[in-house]
A and B are shown apart, each in its own frame.
Chain A
């Protein structure tokens, strides 16, 4: 038993390096995608202190809108632009209808409001586009499919899906762009000011409402990119919701306010989950992927209650 837990998995990793590398790659891609969902959470949390539970559903909703528009005869790129427009309208609507009346309420009330938004988006998405799973339009968007195999050692083979590589590249581009946007532009500076102190930002003439609409729109764009990538790996349906829950441990692991935290957290969860499932999962009957992420996050949290990159929690009486 002890051998099975502590020695056998490592022997396997050493004996079959190609399989291990494949697992690492899978973990990497999953981690990137978790990180993308978590990124949307972080954007909104930083600017408004709202824990946006609906981010996961926004991912599905964006993907569904894109595919749904295309199914109704809209050309792929026009559909993409229209979807971006829809996410913009959604951002404005959420700011106007949900966030503005609820400003300055306790965290849990805002959290519940975003869960309410989740229900609304599920109902709305299925109402308009139907509930059955859909195929993501990867070809029409010019995303690569197919795969490349690398030979490792004498008989090893690692297969990389092109779509996964594209996902990784898009993630890197998006994070870089967001970084530049946050640090170099006027709006980015305003965003950081709002994140730092709402009242101070208001007093120097920054419009909170406008900033929130922009942040929700940015989160919507991140959701759209994530939706395309997740949709390409599996079907677009509200079953992806369960994946969205995985962003929660990622986020908590990285700390709520840190973009690097979201990425590192995503990678830790992605790697940990795949390696754990493939090397240790068999010991307890498999399927441990469903809860391993939470346990990993929990273990990290016990040592750092504010997450890896989170701001230190200072409590005063």
Chain B
């Protein structure tokens, strides 16, 4: 009834192969974009922008990056946090070496470095598969974390060992550094995330994306059908790490302002993996939904007792948050192992046939 595509005829091949062939999808997407670009900036306060929307978008992008590797190419990775860290440190070095350059360009460039490092750590994936591959990416995680601590050149020999984002302006607007307004940061993060998400949506339905999915479904069969596993897997590692790197750079430049090696620890890797799994493996929309759930739930839990007027120690709340998040993860895996993306599909089907059950 509400989501009926019957009667929407396509008269050309181009229209049939469009990214969003269904009218309702286009309307829905336009509504989301209007909300994101117009309604939220016009109405939201600084707290909402800085502690909910910006992290949500950054994590969504990282989840898209990991989803390419794990969801579309089937290579399990526990090193996302470190690849994000590579992006952050690369962006920091680039902005300090080229102080006059546009900081957004530098953030986008920093992904190239994490892509290169991701491809290097992707090399063993040709021989090592499945859960065994987890150890390779864990090696990347711990080795890179060690590099962030032990190579002082990376953080410009700061005494604190942390990287602090320098003050930079883009077209006369403060884009990074402590003085940047939340609104400016929000628009930059939103712009980059939207741009990359659209690019990736198109890559995934083309030749490259399909070859990734072939490798995921059965690599030997894919090889027999003429897919080169070396190039395909390394491409997946490189593209995934590029996106994670950009997300990591955005995380420090437009959200945290300063970062230390522990910001990119294994906990971050797990957090992103949760977003991908709960959102739904192999789904871009799922990456956004997973990020929203994993990021916003703890924020909500933090302020929920206060709303009810119950005074709890910060520690107790933190412990309870851990428990609830863990229990909810198990709950959602049991209820729907294919994630929120699948729930959304079921919901769409219900909307299509409503008010009838079938």
Contacts and interface: CB of A to CB of B under 8 A. Distances in A.
B357 interface: no
Interface stretch (A8-16, A110-118, A169-177, A185-193): A110-118
A116 B321 CA distance: 12
Nearest to B338: A109
A249 B145 contact: no
B322 A113 contact: no
B319 A131 contact: yes
Contact of A109 (B136, B139, B326, B337): B337
B301 to A, nearest CB: 11
B138 A248 contact: yes
Nearest to B130: A107
Interface in A273-317: 284-288, 290-291, 294-295, 297-298, 301-302, 305-307, 313, 315, 317
Contacts of B326: 116-123
Interface in B121-156: 124, 127-132, 134-136, 138-139, 142-143, 145-146, 149-150
B281 A108 contact: yes
Given A120-B327, A123-B323, A127-B316, A112 B142 contact: no
Contact of B128 (A124, A290, A302): A302
B143 A294 contact: yes
Interface residues of A, number: 50
A51 interface: yes
Given A115-B329, A123-B319, A249 B277 contact: no
Contacts of A284: 150
A287 to B, nearest CB: 6
Interface stretch (B92-100, B161-169, B186-194, B266-274): B266-274
Counting chain B CB atoms within 10 Å of each CB, which of A108, A121, A122, A317 scores highest?
A: A108
Contact of A301 (B132, B320, B329): B132
A298 B150 contact: no
A317 B329 contact: no
B50 to A, nearest CB: 25
A119 B325 contact: yes
B333 interface: yes
Contacts of A290: 142, 145-146
Contacts, number: 137
Nearest to B145: A290
A286 B151 CA distance: 11
A127 B325 contact: no
Given A285-B150, A297-B135, A101 B321 contact: no
B221 interface: yes
- Interface class of chain A by DSSP: helix
B172 to A, nearest CB: 43
Contact of B131 (A107, A112, A121, A123): A107
Contact of B135 (A115, A248, A285): A248
A298 B139 contact: yes
Given A113-B330, A116-B329, A127-B316, A317 B274 contact: no
B139 A295 contact: yes
Contacts of A301: 124, 127-128, 132, 135-136
Contacts of A121: 326
A50 B329 CA distance: 17
Contacts of A285: 150
B224 interface: yes
B119 interface: no
A105 interface: yes
B220 A317 contact: yes
A109 B135 contact: no
Nearest to A256: B131
A101 B69 CA distance: 28
Contacts of A126: 315, 319, 322
Contact of A245 (B143, B218, B266, B281): B266
Contacts of A245: 138, 266
Nearest to B335: A101
B138 A124 contact: no
B136 A298 contact: yes
Contacts of B70: 108
B237 to A, nearest CB: 15
A102 interface: yes
A97 interface: yes
Given A115-B329, A117-B326, A301-B135, 13 more contacts: A112-B277, A112-B333, A115-B270, A126-B319, A127-B323, A131-B319, A248-B135, A286-B150, A291-B143, A297-B135, A305-B127, A305-B128, A315-B220
29 contacts: A51-B131, A98-B334, A102-B333, A106-B337, A108-B70, A108-B281, A109-B333, A112-B333, A113-B333, A116-B330, A119-B325, A119-B326, A123-B322, A126-B315, A127-B320, A252-B131, A256-B131, A287-B146, A287-B149, A290-B145, A291-B143, A294-B135, A294-B136, A294-B139, A298-B135, A301-B136, A305-B127, A305-B128, A305-B132
